């Protein structure tokens, strides 16, 4: 039997973490051949060079696509997507995949979806049917309408995709591959590496054995001008809480410069308020999860707080509307962009301590389920709304 | 009060016909300022230079965007869209519209939708919620998920857009502006121009006073390789029916060359079978409707057969799956790509004669309703799926 | 020893003819590895699908790049070049060639030159240092200033490239590979194929044994609006001369539509004047040369008339300024875009008959010389004007 | 008389300084209309947002073009240029200028040149005919071959452009507009602003009244991987010299990240060696010249050291090969990328003190000369090499 060629396009560091076990399962599957395309910010040093981790993890890259436009406005996000379509359509033309896989809902994943759909290549979408604030919300559901196969994380997500008019036979709950990695650290007892030594970063070094906080806060694109103010509220809250903190640099996004500038300015001019914070650019997914597993909790607006941390039982303080509507597993306190509210929620979570594990987003075998599904799912590109 | 700037992007000849009365209503509206962008095949001679009609009709063009990639495969459609995003995002950056309007479901309209959505400009979508075969089906519903305001043609379309998760307050039935033009010819009695003299074209000239047929058949992109065979079935059927026939050249589309080549080859090598056919590139919308109003019927797969012709009561023979799922008004016989079936349906329709007028797609005031809605609709770009 | 990777970018039908023996010599060279990229109009059916000939000739294609923008103005030529840069830089990034080879002076070859030069890949330019009218003149010399290695056709061309400031050590007279193919037919006696049967085309079929004319006339981009008038002068002259004529369709170029339309209109409306003309889209290079070798002469503005025909001794009537400044070998009469002048020159050339062979453009071993040079030439990308 | 429309494309901060007085002279000229396009890094905050200075200086911007691709390799420079062509050709299509002006030799200025040349718009090139190391060298002379009008800075530059085959009637010595600004500060006596207060920046604040050094060092693209090592030699030399130093951040360029990272790492980890350095992102051209005029000298590889400083008589230490071949006025000591050599040259220059003014690059009225020439120069786009 001829192997199905599965072309997966990875465009960013967090998307890689989210798809990694599926990549491995596809690569090792007897009926599948992996064609891995690495594009956009996944190639850029400023955003953590996911490409290096990908290569270190032993994946062979079929094509690299540089398409991130530099700029301080939303125009750059649109242009990055346009350029992505130009390039990815050439890539697909050369690779001739049987299925293209696009991950989640970052703006540039739309380029993958359009190139595949317009070229009559069956499109599989991972993590459709979820609900969040932000432009991601529009992107995610628009991709659902372009996609032919939907590999969703939760039962509720499946319901939504079907309500959006998709054929129930093509909407499969596989869970989220990010939970597969979390599964590996679920029962680990202590941090088995020194984050300062292994990953460098900037800022003071602290004794992490007495407890520490992890922060990851991305700009929210539809509120461009406010991103600097938002980040300052969190910076001040964390500074005043005073616990050792490991802070991770944000993704590329419109608004990114507001956020980045806020952080830089804080370090430069208010460094006395930031003595407890150490800043990192990136970390291998598995190490990042170990770090979370051993932390007091996570603060910010990353989906990790809602997804992986619900499985791991780690307290999360979720700021602002970026995760609005995303299913939660009981470990999250939602707060506004407000220093006092953030501080209070952190204290409340530390008092509570770790939660019990929740399997809403998967049970740890999603990568394999995705690969198995891609091998057997009926392929087709024609669909029609039935209501 | 400051006028709202309404940027409408017209990308093709048929889209112009479909939006023309709305453009006029926006231009003349006291609360609105029209920013008209003409792009893609609407600028190209090979596809009828809609731009000339637009300028002759007195519309001022704010920007022209050449973005059609030449090619004989679907890659060109994807790249045309990618290039459209690159260019339209610069255009929107300069024009700074309050609302961007995208029309219907041609593949390149996705460029308009993505540029506007990613740049946080409220997006109005005209003719969402309809159902047809083809890549258009995916494009249309994906645009619905990117759009903030939905100006739909029928009650059933409104129901579908709401089922797709859109806020009912933002889904307004305005009818289709193409019906406004049809309204003007509904009560006309006879053809008041000579199509051969006014529009040239190639092929023999016939006496139209005894009845004639109109043909318009586009390639169906998801069946690229078959387009030549499809068009030959229709050519032979029309040749054998033998009635005077006015045949309109197809749009730009992947597959277009299969269709175009089929027509050219038929004319070149089987010209004895085509003596009853005269070929036209283009016609002013109003003249085209007059031609339909006075015809025996329309043959092919244009949506005109289903929409304008249901309002005008003109018999239509609809071939293949391009209009599958589109609401019909009783004037259509659907057939497969089969010479004999096409011939039989033509005969049946000619025997039946004209139908009574049907207002499913509007009552003739859609342009005004669209303009009025754009003036008062609440603007916003954040939405979230509520189910 | 590691083989040098030589990436040759072919962008059009005539460029392929001009580089074919060099491609074969590179492919068969023990010290070289050929990376063949086919781009632009070489991929398009409308312009003769050079790609099919390339594959039939047994060359393996490393990448295909669709980048021709459709349009009726010069903007499309600029955009085609811009898009070419975007795509070719990705291609070079993946192929990592040791040398990139760009052929001659068509506008889109600038994309190859810029991508290579900006990426610090040594650039070899074939056929620099020649002089002609047209935008080609600017393109050719600009590429010379971007190139590191110059493989020129004539001694005079070498002089010019050196005067342009290039290092004499890097300017090598290899002759033109097109002469290599001409060499193969130089001593053939009669036409060994039937062009009508082998290549189809449109128009009447004639007895070629009594003598025939070949026509090839391209639009001249810097005189865009005049291209239709130009072509009509030639069409009428050829019609009045009345000899059997084999006419070849022009390249893609701004202005192409003026030329193409002129031809189409002439065939449609003045077909009685064109009874002696048969139109072809394309022909294998070797067959085309055989056709020339056995013809009464060539008419138009193709460089073939000046180059290959001087070697073959075929009379040429060269119309207009497209070949102004190109070295001639005695077989050419230059005329203006004027029906009477064209007719008179044709008659004069037919009276004269064939000329003796001239080796200004090479002696028939250029392909091998190019390959040998690419294998041993010192590689470097830094240069500085020494005057 | 109809005013000639002069479209000037400014793509970077240093280009703006270099063209500013010409922009003013064009804007105020009775026979000219200025169409100012701001593109590429001139729009980006990371590179000093030249656009803000442009607007503050009262210039009206006709179009903004975001086209900088983010990336850590040379591919991004190529793609930025390709994207520039796509966008600028649309801009020129809309503005319909009589002349397009491109400035100097940055890689992305090629986009301006190609778009204009391919669209048959007369192209004026400012600062052709100079000689330097680097990819700029190729770009500059290639643009000369695409340009129709050459407005050069020096007599020697004019000689070179003519030797490159250009028509002497179209090569005019106007001097360099950057000298016009220098002219304004030539006779100023003391620094009339506090750079720390007016421009912020990062690092310690020093008493400048006792003398200070200015540093500006750009990466050299053809030596990508070495840029970090290069910058470190300069950082250490300056640190050891110990004098108060005002250091300006480099332009966008391939290699930029090596340079930037070197600077950031030095500040972060070796801050004790950098106590005498204060870093600035940008400065208004006039203030920058005042700063130079009152400094002990300039160190680095900026052309300012060779051009403006020769006019102002300021000692310059020029590092590496970036300015190789550029005409010098006696104020420059050239050194290699070597800490000790840099230190020694700095000391030597400080001992020498200021030089007398040299007018090789202009006498202070270049902007006016450029505007006057653009008003009267004969326009044409056809040229042909005469040797």
**pLDDT, mean of residues C125-151:** 93
What confidence category does residue D333 fall into, taking pLDDT thresholds of 50, 70 and 90? Answer: very high
User: What is the rounded distance in angstroms from the CA atom of residue C44 to the CA atom of residue C41?
Assistant: 5
Fill in the DSSP letter of residue A236.
Answer: H
Chain B residues close to C43, C-beta within 8 Å: 71
Percent of chain C at pLDDT > 90 equals 75
Chain C residues close to A65, C-beta within 8 Å: 90
Longest dimension (CA), chain D: 65
Taking one residue from B and the other from C, the number of pairs with CB-CB distance under 8 angstroms is 49
Chain C residues close to B76, C-beta within 8 Å: 66
Q: What is each CA distance from D164 to A236, C144, C243, D112, D141, in whole angstroms?
A: 62, 11, 46, 21, 8
Distance of CA C15 to the CA centre of its chain: 5
Reported pTM: 0.86
pLDDT of A39 over the 60 cut: yes
Report the pLDDT value the prediction gives residue B288, as an integer from 0 to 100.
93
Q: What is each CA distance from D386 to A121, B126, C125, C127, D340, in whole angstroms?
A: 54, 59, 21, 17, 50
Kindly write down the DSSP assignment for every residue of B349-372, as one continuous string.
Answer: HHHH-PPPP--TT--S-HHHHHHH
Report the pLDDT value the prediction gives residue D14, as an integer from 0 to 100.
83
Helix or strand holding residue D118 (H, E): helix D109-118
Q: What φ, ψ does residue A63 adopt, rounded to 5°? A: -160, 145
Taking the CA of residue A4 and the nearest CA in chain D, the distance in Å comes to 32
Report the pLDDT value the prediction gives residue B256, as an integer from 0 to 100.
56
Q: For B361-376, how does the pLDDT look when each residue is reduced to its tens digit (9 = 90+)?
A: 999 999 999 999 999 9
pLDDT of C225 over the 90 cut: no
Report the pLDDT value the prediction gives residue C375, as an integer from 0 to 100.
98
User: What is the rounded distance in angstroms from the CA atom of residue D139 to the CA atom of residue A40?
Assistant: 28
| Encoded tokens for A89 | 């359509």
Report the pLDDT value the prediction gives residue A226, as an integer from 0 to 100.
76
Report the pLDDT value the prediction gives residue B252, as an integer from 0 to 100.
58
What confidence category does residue D17 fall into, taking pLDDT thresholds of 50, 70 and 90? Answer: confident
pLDDT of A254 over the 60 cut: no
**Test the A interface: residue of B72, B73, B78, B113 with most A CBs within 10 Å:** B78
Across the interface, whether the CB atoms of C67 and B72 are under 8 A apart is answered no
Report the pLDDT value the prediction gives residue A72, as an integer from 0 to 100.
59
What confidence category does residue B235 fall into, taking pLDDT thresholds of 50, 70 and 90? Answer: very high
Chain B residues close to C252, C-beta within 8 Å: 70
**Degrees (nearest 5) of the Cα angle A233, A235, A241?**
100
Taking the CA of residue D309 and the nearest CA in chain C, the distance in Å comes to 24
Q: For D74-104, how does the pLDDT look when each residue is reduced to its tens digit (9 = 90+)?
A: 899 999 999 999 999 999 998 999 999 999 9
Chain A residues close to C65, C-beta within 8 Å: 90
Q: For C34-75, how does the pLDDT look when each residue is reduced to its tens digit (9 = 90+)?
A: 999 999 999 988 787 899 999 999 999 999 999 999 875 789
Chain C residues close to D93, C-beta within 8 Å: 73, 75
Averaged confidence pLDDT in chain D? 92
What confidence category does residue A37 fall into, taking pLDDT thresholds of 50, 70 and 90? Answer: very high
Name the pairing type of β-strands B123-126 and B99-103: parallel
Report the pLDDT value the prediction gives residue D224, as an integer from 0 to 100.
60
Which subunits sit against D, judged by 3+ Cβ pairs under 8 A? A, B, C
Report the pLDDT value the prediction gives residue D256, as an integer from 0 to 100.
55
**Contact C213/C238 with Cβ under 8 angstroms?**
yes
Report the pLDDT value the prediction gives residue B362, as an integer from 0 to 100.
95
**pLDDT, mean of residues B229-256:** 85
Report the pLDDT value the prediction gives residue D108, as an integer from 0 to 100.
94
- Checking phi first, is residue A361 left (phi over 0); if not, alpha (psi -120 to 50) or beta? alpha
Averaged confidence pLDDT in chain B? 92
User: What is the rounded distance in angstroms from the CA atom of residue D123 to the CA atom of residue D9?
Assistant: 11
Distance of CA B259 to the CA centre of its chain: 18
Report the pLDDT value the prediction gives residue D223, as an integer from 0 to 100.
56
**pLDDT, mean of residues D346-372:** 96
Q: For A192-214, how does the pLDDT look when each residue is reduced to its tens digit (9 = 90+)?
A: 999 999 999 888 999 999 999 99
Name the pairing type of β-strands C277-280 and C245-248: parallel
pLDDT of D261 over the 90 cut: no
Across the interface, whether the CB atoms of B87 and D83 are under 8 A apart is answered no
Percent of chain A at pLDDT > 90 equals 76
Instruction: Please name the member of C65, C86, C93 whose beta carbon is closest to the beta carbon of A64.
Output: C93
Instruction: Please name the member of C64, C83, C94 whose beta carbon is closest to the beta carbon of A63.
Output: C94
As beta bridge partners, residue C203 has C278
Strands (E) in A24-112, as ranges, are: 32-39, 61-65, 99-103
| Encoded tokens for D6 | 């002069």
Instruction: Please name the member of A46, A68, A73 whose beta carbon is closest to the beta carbon of D69.
Output: A68
User: What is the rounded distance in angstroms from the CA atom of residue B303 to the CA atom of residue B317?
Assistant: 11
Q: For B249-278, how does the pLDDT look when each residue is reduced to its tens digit (9 = 90+)?
A: 886 555 556 787 888 888 877 888 889 999
User: What is the rounded distance in angstroms from the CA atom of residue C77 to the CA atom of residue C254?
Assistant: 6
Three-state secondary-structure class, residue B164: coil
Instruction: Please name the member of B78, B135, B385 whose beta carbon is closest to the beta carbon of A89.
Output: B78
User: What is the rounded distance in angstroms from the CA atom of residue A131 to the CA atom of residue A126?
Assistant: 14
Report the pLDDT value the prediction gives residue B254, as an integer from 0 to 100.
54
Q: For A52-88, how does the pLDDT look when each residue is reduced to its tens digit (9 = 90+)?
A: 999 999 999 999 999 999 875 789 999 999 999 999 9
Name the pairing type of β-strands C202-203 and C277-280: antiparallel
| Encoded tokens for B312 | 């005008």
Instruction: Please name the member of B66, B87, B94 whose beta carbon is closest to the beta carbon of D63.
Output: B94
Report the pLDDT value the prediction gives residue C254, as an integer from 0 to 100.
54
Across the interface, whether the CB atoms of D66 and B90 are under 8 A apart is answered yes
Across the interface, whether the CB atoms of A66 and D68 are under 8 A apart is answered no
Q: What number of other Cβ atoms are within 10 A of residue A325's Cβ?
A: 15
Residues on chain C bordering chain A, Cβ-to-Cβ distance under 8 angstroms: 63-66, 83, 86-87, 90, 93-94
As beta bridge partners, residue D103 has D126
Report the pLDDT value the prediction gives residue D269, as an integer from 0 to 100.
79
Taking one residue from C and the other from D, the number of pairs with CB-CB distance under 8 angstroms is 152
Across the interface, whether the CB atoms of A120 and B224 are under 8 A apart is answered yes
Q: What is each CA distance from D195 to A261, D198, D288, in whole angstroms?
A: 21, 5, 9
As beta bridge partners, residue C69 has B69
Report the pLDDT value the prediction gives residue B46, as an integer from 0 to 100.
78
Helix or strand holding residue C37 (H, E): strand C32-39
Report the pLDDT value the prediction gives residue C190, as an integer from 0 to 100.
85
Which subunits sit against C, judged by 3+ Cβ pairs under 8 A? A, B, D
**Degrees (nearest 5) of the Cα angle D361, D365, D367?**
95
**pLDDT, mean of residues D257-262:** 77
Q: End-to-end distance of chain D based on CA atoms, in angstroms?
A: 38
| Encoded tokens for D105 | 């030799």
Kindly identify which residue of chain B lies nearest to residue A255, measuring between CA atoms.
B119
Q: What number of other Cβ atoms are within 10 A of residue D376's Cβ?
A: 8
Across the interface, whether the CB atoms of D75 and A83 are under 8 A apart is answered no
Across the interface, whether the CB atoms of A89 and B79 are under 8 A apart is answered yes
Across the interface, whether the CB atoms of C68 and B69 are under 8 A apart is answered yes
| Encoded tokens for B181 | 């033009």
**Residue C98: which of C78, C81, C119, C77 has the closest Cα?**
C119
Kindly identify which residue of chain A lies nearest to residue D87, measuring between CA atoms.
A79
| Encoded tokens for B75 | 């890659």
User: What is the rounded distance in angstroms from the CA atom of residue C22 to the CA atom of residue C8?
Assistant: 10
Pick from A224-228, C101-105, D11-15, D269-273: least confident:
A224-228
Question: Count of alpha carbons within 13 Å of C11, Cβ hemisphere only?
Answer: 25
Chain D residues close to A72, C-beta within 8 Å: 44-45
| Encoded tokens for D331 | 């104020």
Do the interacting molecules here have an ipTM over 0.85?
yes
Q: For B189-233, how does the pLDDT look when each residue is reduced to its tens digit (9 = 90+)?
A: 789 999 999 999 888 999 999 999 999 998 875 556 677 889 999
Q: What number of other Cβ atoms are within 10 A of residue C230's Cβ?
A: 25
Q: For D117-144, how does the pLDDT look when each residue is reduced to its tens digit (9 = 90+)?
A: 999 999 999 999 999 867 889 999 999 9
Strands (E) in chain D, as ranges, are: 4-10, 32-39, 61-65, 99-103, 123-126, 149-152, 171-173, 202-203, 213-216, 245-248, 277-280, 297-300, 316-319, 332-335
Match 């020649």 to its residue by tokens: C130
**Contact A92/A115 with Cβ under 8 angstroms?**
yes
Report the pLDDT value the prediction gives residue B255, as an integer from 0 to 100.
55
pLDDT of C379 over the 70 cut: yes
Instruction: Please name the member of C79, C88, C146 whose beta carbon is closest to the beta carbon of D86.
Output: C79
As beta bridge partners, residue D351 has none
What confidence category does residue A256 fall into, taking pLDDT thresholds of 50, 70 and 90? Answer: low
Q: For A145-190, how does the pLDDT look when each residue is reduced to its tens digit (9 = 90+)?
A: 999 999 999 999 999 999 999 999 999 999 999 999 999 999 887 8
Instruction: Tally the residues of chain B.
Output: 387
As beta bridge partners, residue C150 has C125, C171
Three-state secondary-structure class, residue A258: helix
Burial (CB count <10 Å: 0-12, 13-18, 19+), residue B351: exposed
What confidence category does residue D353 fall into, taking pLDDT thresholds of 50, 70 and 90? Answer: very high
Name the pairing type of β-strands A149-152 and A123-126: parallel
Q: What is each CA distance from C366 to A361, B73, C113, C328, D240, in whole angstroms?
A: 66, 36, 22, 19, 59
Taking the CA of residue A49 and the nearest CA in chain C, the distance in Å comes to 17
pLDDT of C268 over the 80 cut: no
pLDDT of D226 over the 80 cut: no
**pLDDT, mean of residues A126-140:** 90
Report the pLDDT value the prediction gives residue D271, as an integer from 0 to 100.
80
């Amino acid at each position: 039997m001829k192997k199905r060629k599965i072309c997966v396009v990875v465009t960013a560091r967090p998307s890689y973490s989210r798809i990694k076990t599926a990549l491995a399962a596809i690569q090792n599957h007897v009926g599948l051949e992996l064609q891995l395309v690495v594009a956009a910010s996944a190639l850029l040093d400023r955003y953590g060079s996911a490409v290096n981790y990908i290569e270190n993890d032993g994946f062979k890259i079929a094509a690299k696509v540089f398409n991130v436009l530099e700029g301080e406005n939303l125009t750059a996000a649109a242009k990055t997507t346009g350029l992505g379509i130009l390039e990815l359509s050439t890539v697909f033309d050369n690779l001739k995949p049987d299925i293209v896989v696009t991950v989640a809902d970052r703006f540039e994943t739309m380029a993958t979806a359009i190139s595949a759909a317009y070229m009559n290549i069956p499109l599989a979408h991972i993590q459709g049917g979820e609900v969040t604030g932000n432009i991601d919300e529009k992107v995610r559901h628009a991709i659902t309408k372009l996609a032919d196969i939907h590999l969703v994380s939760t039962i509720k997500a499946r319901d939504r995709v079907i309500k959006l008019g998709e054929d129930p036979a093509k909407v499969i709950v596989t869970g989220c591959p990010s939970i597969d990695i979390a599964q590996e650290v679920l029962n680990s007892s202590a941090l088995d590496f020194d984050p300062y030594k292994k990953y460098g970063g900037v800022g003071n070094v602290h004794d992490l054995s007495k407890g520490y906080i992890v922060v990851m806060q991305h700009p929210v694109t539809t509120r461009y001008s406010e991103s600097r103010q938002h980040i300052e509220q969190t910076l001040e809250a964390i500074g005043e809480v005073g616990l050792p903190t490991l802070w991770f640099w944000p993704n590329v996004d419109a608004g990114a410069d507001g956020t980045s500038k806020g952080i830089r300015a804080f370090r430069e001019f208010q460094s006395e308020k930031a003595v407890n914070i150490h800043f990192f650019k990136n970390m291998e997914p598995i190490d990042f999860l170990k770090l979370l597993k051993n932390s007091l909790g996570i603060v910010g607006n990353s989906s990790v707080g809602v997804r992986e941390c619900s499985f791991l039982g780690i307290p999360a303080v979720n700021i602002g509307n970026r995760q609005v509507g995303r299913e939660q597993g009981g470990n999250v306190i939602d707060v506004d962009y407000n220093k006092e509210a953030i501080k209070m929620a952190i204290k409340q979570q530390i008092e509570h301590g770790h939660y019990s594990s929740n399997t809403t987003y998967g049970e740890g075998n999603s990568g394999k389920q995705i690969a198995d599904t891609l091998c057997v799912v009926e392929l087709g590109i024609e669909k029609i709304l039935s209501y």
